[in-house]
Chain A
């Protein structure tokens, strides 16, 4: 593999890792607060549709983004209502949200645009264009570093940079602020939070809404960043890969970034090479597809450092006594 090919694969890795990373950070906020979320996929899908539809109609990528966030937060609030207010089963709620998104997106898209459940292609203006960072062209000729800067770091949509900025911001919020302390506490020991005089319900709703916002950005990136419009089921299981990445990262922001890049790389490689020849042994492309899940299951089995999910995750808080 020559340098140029490597760069291309890595460039594609960054693009493919972006929605994973955003969804993964979304799940991180929700689950760190004790609300399990297997509905990342659905929220992302609905956001992608909202973005595609609004961007097409208005011709504005930013309005598309706002619509995506609004749609995703709406779904997040349904999840909050079910799992926080009505103390329902968080997993079942997540399943319902995934189907709701899957059905509603196509239903509405078909009704509005009559193109078989997709939005019409969104062209410039409606999409987040690739940004050329300063000096990318001048530095491009510098050996090694130049192409890395010009092709790999420069030349992505703004949402990509936002996604990677979310990581340090999240780490800061989680570990350095009062809100982060409380958020992490409510996922581990809601009784400690409650007896400290803090509202468990309000904290968890906040976390769920943040989750909605980030899923919204992820969906918007899929529809009007990575591609030019919404296509049915365009999330294609990314919400679940993000979930796997979250477990893999043990619910920590920087590790989440590492895992999402790894899973993004797997996708990029699978996309570029159908089967990989490793000196006589051929790795089928399907193995690459399944690898994130296989790795996660192995990790869950606890043979190599067992993941430690937030202790109060998945359970509604009921005051004792």
Chain B
């Protein structure tokens, strides 16, 4: 730090706070980014990284706090001001016009004159120079939709540089890149750093932080937990900071008594709609009376694993429930067939999948099970039976307010989640898939939901738990499998591992024995 004392930070945030209604997305955040450095911001989904960046780019106004650029107070009321202040942003979802050429995308909003031809030829020249300077080669006349994701990202970077950005912010830039493309990106960023640009790299991938950044801030639940020099830190330390070292939630449970295998998964592969392979040969077995926790940083294939098991994404490979093989691509690969096979599913995203928010609580308690015999009365649905059932579930799960006629959107996160968990668990399924069971859920509800999961296990059922909260994984799991980049990088008994080892596995390190002991 001493060597920088004469130059002001390229970017300094001082005490930034931002709330949305009762939710505080950013609490008193301060960061300094020196010129010619790469600063990482790491944190889980919902940690508040995106909000912070939106404030920097003029999408939101901070409730409190200051922004200084090169030591000067700067107001950023809109994107135009951000661009003028020398901030360039590469969004996670690219802001490109898919059927425009690279050049057209680059000049959009920075055309210079009324007529395009001059702007285009000027841009073509400076593009050539930027490409040579920073290894940013893209065919200027190619259409965006014909480019690979990696090249599209280069266009985004070029857009920022064309607008003379000195501070470049990249939001989860490698989420969609192949490893080779990611390596290339980091070479580009390195070149930019050498030219004196300041770069903020937002990511949840530890490896990138370790490889690319000079310093790094960890965010959790809207707060800046710590800022470290990358060289003085370790992946394991960062992983722990990220998922939080909050008091371990103790769950009363007896050691598991695993029985016969219930859920068997062999060589499961899934390619998403963009053609990216998200599951790259998953093998897992869950026995009766056992909770298998899938640990891992978000975005490594956990979501797709749940979707395939839940019946709404197609895959290849084999899935068996109690020996019966499931249909993975045909007519019987839908949510209803999965439920008939004894698989219940608490999805990761209750707002978009688990609940119909405008529906009442009682309507939601039948969602996905609306074909159940007990809900029918001849050709009609028996709303009475559903309501009665809902009332019972609401009482047993202590949903508040205990009003089944209230729309789902009017319940708090914890109570919404209780409705979903009640619906899925109360049917005594053979297999329970449960994703992020306590995301956005208050402490009281967390304990309750955890207890329900263990109870189901003790009835001799199989539970597949996906969570990005490491302490939740530890609290509930009997066995822990770690997912990284569509693979299982390791499986451990919960009693025989620790956060450090899992942190390494989550970073893609498979050889933890050597790393931990050697």
**A contact set with B: CB distance below 8 Å:** 175-182, 184-185, 188-189, 191-198, 308, 311, 319, 321
Complex alpha-carbon distance, A202 and B314, angstroms:
43
Assembled-state Cα–Cα distance A308/B60 (Å): 34
Are A195 and B91 in contact (CB-based, < 8 A)? yes
Candidates B59, B107, B119; contact of A321 at CB < 8 Å: B59
- Beyond contacts A177-B115, A192-B97: 6 other A-B pairs, Cβ-Cβ < 8 A, are A177-B114, A184-B100, A189-B95, A192-B96, A196-B110, A319-B59
Cβ of B104 within 8 Å of any chain A Cβ, yes or no, is yes
A181, B83: Cβ atoms under 8 Å? no
Bound together, the chains give a CA A181 to CA B51 distance in angstroms of 30
- Which B residues fall within an 8 A CB radius of A? 50-51, 54, 57, 59-60, 78-80, 82-83, 89, 91, 95-100, 104-105, 107-111, 113-117, 119, 159
A195 to B105, Cβ gap below 8 A? Answer: no
Given contacts A178-B119, A188-B99, contact A195 B89 (CB under 8 A): yes
A308 to B143, CA, bound (A): 15
Residues of the A chain whose Cβ atoms lie less than 8 Å from the Cβ of B80: 197
Interchain CB contact (< 8 A) of A188 among B60, B97, B109, B116:
B97
A197 to B95, CA, bound (A): 12
Are B97 and A185 closer than 8 Å at their CB atoms? yes
Interfacial chain A residues near B110, Cβ < 8 Å: 196
Query: Mind listing 21 A-B residue pairs with CB under 8 Å?
Result: A175-B116, A177-B115, A177-B116, A178-B119, A179-B114, A180-B116, A181-B100, A181-B108, A182-B108, A188-B97, A188-B100, A189-B96, A192-B96, A194-B79, A195-B89, A196-B95, A197-B78, A197-B82, A308-B99, A311-B98, A319-B59
CA distance A247 to B114 in the complex (A): 29
- Nearest-CB residue, chain A, relative to B84: A197
Of all chain A residues, which has the CB nearest B111? A178
CA–CA, A173 and B483, complex, Å: 52
Q: Which residues of B contact A189 (CB under 8 A)?
A: 95-98
Determine how close the nearest CB of chain B comes to the CB of A206; give it in whole angstroms. 14
Q: Could you say which of A192, A194, A197 contacts B105, with CB atoms under 8 Å apart?
A: A192
Q: Is the CB of B79 within 8 A of A197?
A: yes
Min CB distance A200 to B, Å, is 11
Pick from B51, B59, B91, B95 the residue with the most CB of A within 10 Å. B95
A192:B95 contact, CB within 8 angstroms:
yes
Note all chain A residues with C-beta closer than 8 A to B115. 176-178
Give every chain B residue within 8 A of A188 (Cβ-Cβ).
97-100
Partner of A181, one of B60, B78, B111: B111
- In the complex, A194→B50 CA distance in Å? 17
Determine the chain A residues whose CB is within 8 A of the CB of B79 once the complex forms: 194-197
Which of A177, A178, A180, A195 touches B95 (beta carbons < 8 Å)?
A195
A172 CB, nearest partner CB in chain B, Å:
10
- Enumerate chain A residues within 8 angstroms of B159, measured Cβ to Cβ: 196
Contact of B98 with A196 in the complex, beta carbons under 8 Å: no
Q: Are A178 and B104 in contact (CB under 8 A)?
A: no
Chain B's closest residue to A192 (CB) is: B95
Distance to closest chain A CB from B183 (angstroms): 27
Kindly state the separation between the CA atoms of A178 and B109 in the bound complex, as whole angstroms.
Answer: 9
Cα separation A182 to B109 with both chains bound (whole Å): 8
